Amino acid sequence: MMNQNGMEPQDQRNFIIAMVLMIAFVFFYQTYVTGPSAKRANLEREQAIAAQLEAGDTGVPGDIPLATAPPPTQTVEQALVQSERLDFNADRVDGSIRLTGAILDDLSLKDHYKQLGSDEELRLLRPSSAEHGFYTSWFWLGSEGVVAGQNDVWTQIGGTTLTSQSPITLSLVKDGLTINRTISVDDNFLFTYADTITNSGSAARVLTPYGSIRRHGVWKEFLEATDPGSSKKTGLVHQGLVGVVDGNLKLRNYKNLSKGKGIKGKGESETSPGSFGSTSGGWLGLTDMYWMAALVPQQDRAFDARFDQRGANKDVYEVSIKGTLVTIEPGQSVTVANQIFAGAKEYNVVKTYKAAGIPRFDDAIDWGSFEYYISRPFFALLNWLKGKLGSFGLAIMALVVVIKIPLIPLYNASYKSMAKMKKLAEPMKEIQERFKADPQRKQQEVMKLYQREKANPLAGCVPILFTIPVFFALYKTLYVTLEMRHTSFLHLTDLSAPDPSAIGNLFGLLPWAASDVKAIPIIGIIIGIGILPIMYGVSMAAIQSLSPPPPDPTQRTIMMALPIVFMFVFGSFASGLVLYWVWNNILSLIQQYIIMRRNGVDTQLETLVKYLRNRNKPEKE
């Protein structure tokens, strides 16, 4: 039957393909490029938060006071020499701890670098007096005030230099209490603050552990200070507050934190905006794209957690955890061990900490919402393949093969349908010309032709239903996982970044960066395209040449333009993702070509070969 608009099934098939691709592109652009639009929060909740912030009520009545001095302008180096420090040199991190407050505020990652090609270690934590301060520690509060706060000076009494094999011990004597703090760091990024508190007084003392992470300044600026370029990717991956409380994942990005909006993932234990609690187990921190600092309280003790905006300009972000009360009788000693994670969100590392008892710690990596169930298995498989092949580039190519193998029957059926439709192109054209004046008869003849040849014009669209979810899941996987950062393959220097080659630098032969070429107004869009995006456009056009062309001129124009459009769109994608789809297109092209030839269909390749042969033959007289 012909639709009211006169579109035939052949036209419908091609129109659906074009529309699905266009819708997928628009959805992708809105979801990952412009960033997901924020959902409308509850109006009363926002008004309460705004009123609370306006009144300056942080909900933490002077627990750990913060000076309201002007924004610091010192460099990190200048700030470090102003206080007595304890150096550490662990397996994967180095830096120093400020003895005043026992604050971890100087930490760099030994095997991650700030920029590609640089030997400058990526600095995660910075002193409070330096620009973009980022620091953390565990303190102790008492019923009469701060017992061990940010201004109390600790004394080193044990150990020499803190390493992954040798802990150090600090001591603080104050108000009849002696606190011996043993600080250790494992072979990755987890610090343990084990405090043994002895009450030498005549009355019982009640104390509360208080963990704090603070970050200073405008959120985009401190993201750039840590990892240049990461502030532009906040729509691609979650950056902001992250944690797990009573088994519930808590998320709140920096943009919403700056506006005082409520925390996503509200649980029944939440009592007020910015405050939530746990009966036992959990953690809370501030995360960037690949890096995180998080408080991990002793897991068998309940705690309350908060987020606050502090400082005169509300430009100091703090996440804090207040543990349950600890009662220490006269002459008694009590030990409480709390931890701090400060480092890279590597898959194997966070998975190990989860297995060690930190609940859902691997969810510090933003696996996505609907992509979650695909992206996590994808990366687990990708990581395994990398271990076997020794290269993430080869692992990505192997992943294509692994995904395509179970879909071979589906694609074969689709390509067979396309082959039949292409063979029917001439009979279809004859029917359209013969019954041009009788649309109803034309439709009937077309349907008879389909039934006689057992052709289904919509069968070629079925694989799209599988490839689109794969596209989104893989896109998410390659962007959020640190393992792809600064990983090279062939001419690709960083699989998490766009192709470094460009037409404008003769694909790397000229000493101009592709980013500089792309920055040229207007023509930079064209001459900034790299090798992989061009290969994607060519391979997509080649696949289209094997498919039956749409009879409608408008649809045909749309389909012909798609390879060019997607070539430019893919030019800004992570090169690892483009590598995946180029290799996928090459395998699909080979598979489709074989099916076409088995069904006796001449492809554009045979047409070209015949043309060249006939052109070289001498003309008969």
Q: Is 70 exceeded by the pLDDT of residue 588?
A: yes
pLDDT for 220 equals 83
Between residues 489 and 279, the one the model is more confident about: 489
Is the predicted pLDDT of residue 354 greater than 90, yes or no? yes
Instruction: Quickly count: other Cβ atoms within 10 Å of residue 176's Cβ.
Output: 13
SS3 state of residue 102 = coil
* Residue 533: pLDDT over 80: yes
Alpha helix stretches (DSSP H) within 158-293: 219-226, 254-259
Reported for 26-30, long-range contacts at CB under 8 A and 24+ positions apart, including other chains, are 28/471, 28/472, 28/475
Output the CA torsion 465→371→229→577 (10° steps).
-40
Per-residue pLDDT, averaged over 370-377, amounts to 77
Average pLDDT over residues 430-435: 74
Q: Quickly state the pLDDT bin for 611 (edges 50, 70, 90).
A: low
For residue 487, how many C-alpha atoms fall within 13 Å in the half-sphere facing its CB?
20
pLDDT at 66: 45
Q: For position 48, what pLDDT does the model report?
A: 34
Span 221-237, average pLDDT:
76
**Nearest alpha carbon to residue 350 among 359, 405, 137:** 359
Per the structure block, which two tokens stand in for 491? 């001419």
pLDDT exceeds 90 at position 296: yes
The residue among 256 and 23 whose pLDDT is bigger is: 256
Strands (E), 231-302: 240-245, 248-253, 275-278, 282-287, 291-296
- What is the predicted pLDDT for the residue at 375? 82
What is residue 147's predicted lDDT score, i.e. its pLDDT? 92
Of the chain, the percentage scoring pLDDT greater than 70 comes to 73
Place of tokens 């694989």: 463
Q: What is the pLDDT of residue 460?
A: 56
What tokens were used for 27? 């959805």
Question: Tens digit of pLDDT for each residue in 52-93?
Answer: 333 333 333 344 544 444 456 678 888 898 889 999 999 999
Q: Supply the DSSP string of 139-156, one letter for each residue.
A: EEEETTEEEE-TTPBPEE
Q: Is the pLDDT of residue 102 over 90?
A: yes
More confident residue, 122 or 269: 122
- Return phi, psi of residue 330, to 5°: -55, 130
**pLDDT exceeds 60 at position 452:** yes
pLDDT at position 26 = 45
pLDDT at 487 over 90: no
Banded model confidence at residue 16, pLDDT cuts 50, 70, 90: low
**CATH 2.70.98.90 for the 35-64+81-366 domain, yes or no:** yes
- Taking only the tens place, the pLDDT of each residue in 117-130 is 667 899 999 998 88
Find the mean pLDDT for residues 188-214.
94
pTM for the model: 0.75
CB 231 within 8 A of CB 220: yes
| Of 401, 459, 377, the residue nearest 584 (C-alpha) | 401
Residue 476 or residue 265, greater confidence = 476
* Predicted pLDDT of residue 61: 35
pLDDT at 350: 94
What's 9-56 look like in SS3?
Answer: HHHHHHHHHHHHHHHHHHHHHHHHHCCCCCCCCCHHHHHHHHHHHHCC
Task: State pLDDT tens for residues 490-505.
Answer: 888 878 778 888 887 7
Q: Please indicate whether residue 368 or residue 176 has the higher confidence score (pLDDT).
A: 176
| Domain boundary assignment for the chain | 9-32+382-497+530-615, 35-64+81-366
621 has a pLDDT exceeding 60: no
pLDDT score, position 614: 63
First-to-last C-alpha distance (Å) of the chain: 52
CA distances from 30 to 87, 235, 356, 374, 427 (A): 47, 10, 38, 20, 42
Region 419-428: mean pLDDT is 68
What would the two tokens of residue 546 be?
A: 């094997």
Three-class SS state of 489: strand
pLDDT band, very low/low/confident/very high, at 561 (cuts 50, 70, 90): confident
Q: Which of 337-341, 364-368, 612-616 has the lowest mean pLDDT?
A: 612-616
242-263 pLDDT tens trace: 999 888 888 888 888 887 766 6
What band does 22 get if pLDDT is binned at 50, 70 and 90?
Answer: low
Average predicted confidence (pLDDT) for the chain: 77
> Confidence band (pLDDT; 50, 70, 90) for 549?
low
The C-alpha atoms of residue 365 and residue 376 are separated, in whole angstroms, by: 10
